[in-house]
Amino acid sequence: MTWSQAVAWRDVLGKLGTLWCILLAVSLLDAVTAKFRESPLVSHVMPGEVIQLTNPVGEPNAKMDDLVIVGNTPTIAISVDAIRPSFWFGGAMWHARVEVSSTAAAGDYPIRIYPRGVPEAKVPAHHVIVHADQQSYYGSSTSFIRRFLRYSPWQLAAIWALCVVATLSGLYLLSRFVDRLMALEGRASIYLVRSVDDGQEILFGLGSKHGVETGRRVDVLDGSGHWVGFGEVRKVDETDALAWVQTDVVVIPGFTVISR
C-alpha cells in the first residue's frame, strides 16, 4: 500500500467512524427517551410470551406467603419467584413471572402484587398489554427505532459501539502505518502548535533517528501540499522534534513538515 492509498483509506475510516458515532448517539438518545415517554408500570407483550416483572413490596418484612396476587386469569398466569433487596433504591422488591397464553385475547390486563393488610386501591397496577399482531405490538412502542425498524435501540447501540471500536482501532493502526511511510520520506504531520513570545512552536514526529538535528530548517506545507513557510528545529529527541516558526506563518495541527 502506498502513502496516498493509506491516507485515502484513513480518510474513509475517519468518515465511517463519524457515521458510527452519530448512529450510536441517535440510538442511545432514542432508547433513553423512550423510557420517559411511557410509565414503567406498562409492559407490551404478544400471546405466548413470558416476561419478568419486579416492583417494591411496600413492607420491609413481608414474606412470599404474605403476598396477594391479583390478575391471574385463565390466559395470564402470575407467579412470584422471590423477594430480594433492591440494589439501587433499598427496601425489598418482589420478582414475578408472567406467562401469557398463546390464546390470550388482545387487551389490558392489570396486575397487582402486595402484602396482605394493604388496601388494594392503594396499590398501583402493572398493566400488561397483550397485542393481537406484530403491527400493533411494534406500533405501540415509544421508541421510534423499534416502532419503524422493529429493532431494539439498545441492540443497535451495541452494534454501533462495536463498529466505533473496530473503526477507531483500524484508524489508529493505519495512522501509525502512514506515519512510518511519511517518516521514510522525511515527512511528518504537525500534532501540536503553540504560541511563544517570538513566534510559534510546532511539534512533529521526526527525531534524531530520522536524521533531524538542532538548527536544521524544515519546510511547512498546508493540507493541500502548498508551501507556507519554514521552521527552525530547536529541540530534538529520538522520535520527535520541536521547531520555531515565525508568527506571520499560518500553521495548524495536521499540516506537514518536510525535512530536507
Domain boundaries, the chain: 1-37+142-182, 39-134, 186-259
pLDDT value of residue 232: 93
Average pLDDT over residues 100-110: 95
Rounded to the nearest integer, the mean pLDDT of the chain is 91
Average pLDDT over residues 154-167: 97
Average pLDDT over residues 140-149: 93
Backbone angles phi, psi at 11, to 5 degrees: -65, -40
**What is the pTM (predicted TM-score) of this model?**
0.73
> Whole-angstrom Cα distance, residue 104 to residue 125?
19
pLDDT-derived band at 129 (thresholds 50, 70, 90) equals: very high
* Record: fold of 39-134: Immunoglobulin-like (2.60.40)
Q: With 80 as the cut, is the pLDDT of residue 87 above it?
A: no
> Whole-angstrom Cα distance, residue 38 to residue 27?
17
Q: With 70 as the cut, is the pLDDT of residue 157 above it?
A: yes
Percent of the chain with pLDDT over 70: 98
Say which residue, 96 or 62, is predicted with more confidence. Answer: 96
Average pLDDT over residues 21-38: 94
DSSP state of 141: -
Average pLDDT over residues 123-129: 93
CA nearest to 48, candidates 106, 97, 104 = 104
- Name the one residue in this structure whose C-alpha cell is 433492591: 86
Q: With 90 as the cut, is the pLDDT of residue 219 above it?
A: yes
Half-sphere exposure of 142 (CA within 13 A, CB side): 14
> Whole-angstrom Cα distance, residue 130 to residue 248?
71
pLDDT value of residue 88: 66
Average pLDDT over residues 89-118: 90
- Name the one residue in this structure whose C-alpha cell is 423477594: 83
CA nearest to 160, candidates 18, 43, 63 = 18
pLDDT value of residue 90: 66
pLDDT-derived band at 58 (thresholds 50, 70, 90) equals: confident
Tell me which of 2.40.10.340, 3.30.300.20, 1.10.1510.10, 3.40.50.720 is the CATH number of domain 186-259: 2.40.10.340
Average pLDDT over residues 138-152: 93
Average pLDDT over residues 180-209: 90
Q: Are strands 126-130 and 42-45 parallel, antiparallel or unpaired?
A: parallel
pLDDT value of residue 27: 97
Q: With 90 as the cut, is the pLDDT of residue 44 above it?
A: yes
